Amino acid sequence: MQYEIQGAPFSVLICKLGAEEAMKCQKGGMAWMSSNMKMQTSGGGLGKMFGKLVTGESMFYNTYVSEGGNGEIAFGMSFPGNIISVDVSQKPIVAQKRAFMACENGVDMSIFFQKKVGSGIFGGEGFIMQKFSGHGMAFLEIDGSTVERELAAGESITVDSGYIAAMEDTCSIDIQMVSGIGNVVFGGEGLFNTVVTGPGKVWLQTMPVPTLANALLPYLPTKTGN
């Protein structure tokens, strides 16, 4: 499989497949494809279907196979931003809910529970995230632009809620309460921050969907009664 990513911030992933190669994607993720690409819809078993339900993904995914020769398939984004590609054969990654765009057929998707309940409840990405492992390339949607940070063992970075897009599974997440009553009340940063500790790579995003939605809310028309 060969791929290219074009057109940020309205990016598209274009994959060129050899005969009988396959790609998996979210339901409705295909933008266009060659005529020899054949689709099969699957849930991947009850356990995986439940995992997709609790992470906000569709319970079913589509597998596209290039039959009888080379094929092409493209996947479009659901929100303006970037697409990152990660070879999970090297190291599994953990990603935010709804990050999954597409992957090669050898990539396994599962749910990932935060080891510390507090980190899941207050850390901004929820108690449950997605884990990608196995063999092959995984492609993730990033809200806005992408910033990569490589953390050494024991090195930490403090991140505002929602700005963590993905991280290698060697990283850990904890929470840190904002100090000072004045900072909490007037600082506008909430009560908790997320602390990511290495070793491993972290992908940060610059425009989380909830942050953008809150920024636009004052400008949206309000419905009034007659």
Tell me if 105 sits within 8 A of 171, measured CB to CB: no
Q: Which residues have CB under 8 Å from 148's CB, separation 6+?
A: 201, 202, 203, 204
Neighbours of 196 (CB within 10 A): 21
Q: Using CA atoms, how far apart are residues 201 and 149, in angstroms rounded to an integer?
A: 6
* pTM assigned to the model: 0.80
Q: Using CA atoms, how far apart are residues 140 and 142, in angstroms rounded to an integer?
A: 6
Q: Using CA atoms, how far apart are residues 226 and 43, in angstroms rounded to an integer?
A: 47
Q: Is the pLDDT of residue 186 over 50?
A: no
Tell me the residue length of the chain.
226
Mean of the per-residue pLDDT values of the chain: 82
Tell me if 132 sits within 8 A of 104, measured CB to CB: no
Tell me if 208 sits within 8 A of 162, measured CB to CB: yes
Q: pLDDT-derived band of residue 10, with 50, 70 and 90 as boundaries? A: confident
pLDDT digits (tens, 9 = 90+) for 90-131: 899 999 888 899 999 999 988 887 655 454 454 444 457 889
Please tell me what DSSP assigns to residue 182: H
pLDDT digits (tens, 9 = 90+) for 144-172: 999 999 999 999 999 987 899 999 999 98
pLDDT digits (tens, 9 = 90+) for 70-89: 999 999 998 889 999 999 99
Q: Which domains does the chain have, with CATH numbers?
A: 2-216 (3.60.160.10)
Tokens, residue 208: 């989380």
Q: pLDDT-derived band of residue 188, with 50, 70 and 90 as boundaries? A: very low
Beta bridge partners of 200: 151
